[in-house]
Amino acid sequence: MSESNTIHLTLRVWRQPNAATPGRFETYEATNISTEMSFLEMLDVVNDQLALNGIEPIAFDHDCREGICGACGCVVNGQAHGHLKGTTLCQLHMRHFRDGDTLVIEPFRAKAFPIIKDLVVDRSAFDQIIQAGGYISVKTGSAPEASSILVPKKNADLAMDAAACIGCGACVAACPNSSAMLFVSAKINHLGQLPQGQPERYRRAIHMIEKMDELGFGNCSNHLECEAACPKEIQFVNIGRMNRDYIIAKLFHNEEAF
């Protein structure tokens, strides 16, 4: 373990009882925070103090605390998942902050992610996009022998790079347009890189993109904030590849979509 220190922080936290009630920032002191703690453990400590003082703890989504489930995430000092590159909030440790820092903590804000409470938002729009076509249609039991499908290592690697997306929504929160194109392109390229994904490739692109538009996500205008915020470092190039699929789909495969 690296050397442990104790720091004191001031938190300005977004509190909002529910979607219908306006929210506001509240200020809390976070004292005696070990630099070995994760950001969420720091919030646990603050929440315990709040609870003992009869104040309702700050609501935030979290689960695995290993950076893989995608449940956690909020905006810290203007950056989704905080300032550390390629890191979910649960894996951001307090050694990356300095004694006396003020941290402004807000939920992921986007029209398509309505606030449920405090830092908790509703990201079910992502599920709806996947339902629109983020899969390969194969029924249980109908699969051919695994080694009958050859996948060049390069394609398998590129597919895995894209498939690493954890669906946290940081890309949407970071984008000035609240675009979900990094998320959508990650799934389209994961499946589009693989031979198994070819039969539905263009149909998938049309359906997922149209669903994304319908749900109120914005369009990409090349700010690349999504890539910078992505805790899994999903690359922006995926959006270009997705656009290519979409254009080809619209030009040559539009009838397949219906």
Partner 1 sequence: MNLDSKVPSGHITTKWSNHRFEMKLVNPANKRKYQIIVVGTGLAGSSAAASLSELGYQVKVFTLHDTPRRAHSIAAQGGINAAKNYPNDGDSIWRLFYDTVKGGDYRAREANVYRLAEISNHIIDQCVAQGVPFAREYGGLLENRSFGGAQVSRTFYARGQTGQQLLLGAYSAMMKEIANGSVSLFTRRELVDIVVIDGKARGIVVRNLINGKFESYSAHAVLLCTGGYGNAYFLSTNAMNCNVSAAWAAYKRGAAFANPCFTQIHPTCIPVHGDYQSKLTLMSESLRNDGRVWVPRKQGDTRKPSEIPEDERYYFLEEKYPSFGNLVPRDVASRNAKEVCDKGLGVGTTKLAVYLDFSDAIKRLGKKVIEERYGNLFDMYEKITGVNPYEEPMMIYPAIHYTMGGIWVDYNLMSTLPGLFVLGEANFSDHGANRLGASALMQGLADGYFIIPYTIGHYFASNTFSKIDETHLAFSDAEKEIEQTIQRLMSIQGNRTVDDFHRQLGQIMWDYVGMSRNEKGLKYALEKIPEIRDEFWKNVKVTGVSNDFNQTLEKAKRVADFLDFAELLTLDALERRESCGGHFREESQTEEGEAKRDDENYSHVSVWEYNGPNLKPNFHKEPLIFEYVKPSQRSYK
CA gap 243, 185 in Å, rounded:
8
Strands (E), 16-107: 24-34, 75-76, 79-80, 102-106
Interacting residue with partner 1 among 9, 13, 37, 205 (CB under 8 A): 37
- Interface positions, 115-144, toward partner 1 (CB under 8 A): 116-117, 120, 122-124, 126-127, 130-132, 134-144
Kindly state the number of chain residues that form the binding site for partner 1, as judged by CB under 8 A.
82
36 binds partner 1 (CB under 8 A): yes
- Interface positions, 85-104, toward partner 1 (CB under 8 A): 86-87, 91-93, 95
Q: Are 171 and 183 in contact (CB under 8 A)?
A: yes
Q: What stretch of H or E contains 238?
A: helix 237-252
Q: What stretch of H or E contains 229?
A: helix 225-229
Q: Are 172 and 216 in contact (CB under 8 A)?
A: no
- Interface positions, 186-205, toward partner 1 (CB under 8 A): 190-191, 193-194, 196-197
213 binds partner 1 (CB under 8 A): no
Q: Which is nearer to partner 1, 102 or 124 (CB)?
A: 124
258 binds partner 1 (CB under 8 A): no
Q: Cβ atoms within 10 A of the Cβ of 5, count?
A: 12
63 binds partner 1 (CB under 8 A): yes
Q: How far is the CB of 170 from partner 1 (least distance, A)?
A: 15
62 binds partner 1 (CB under 8 A): yes
227 binds partner 1 (CB under 8 A): no
Q: Are 22 and 126 in contact (CB under 8 A)?
A: no
Joined tokens for residue 223: 């700010």
Q: Which is nearer to partner 1, 147 or 221 (CB)?
A: 147
The SS3 of residue 69 is coil
171 binds partner 1 (CB under 8 A): no
Q: How far is the CB of 90 from partner 1 (least distance, A)?
A: 9
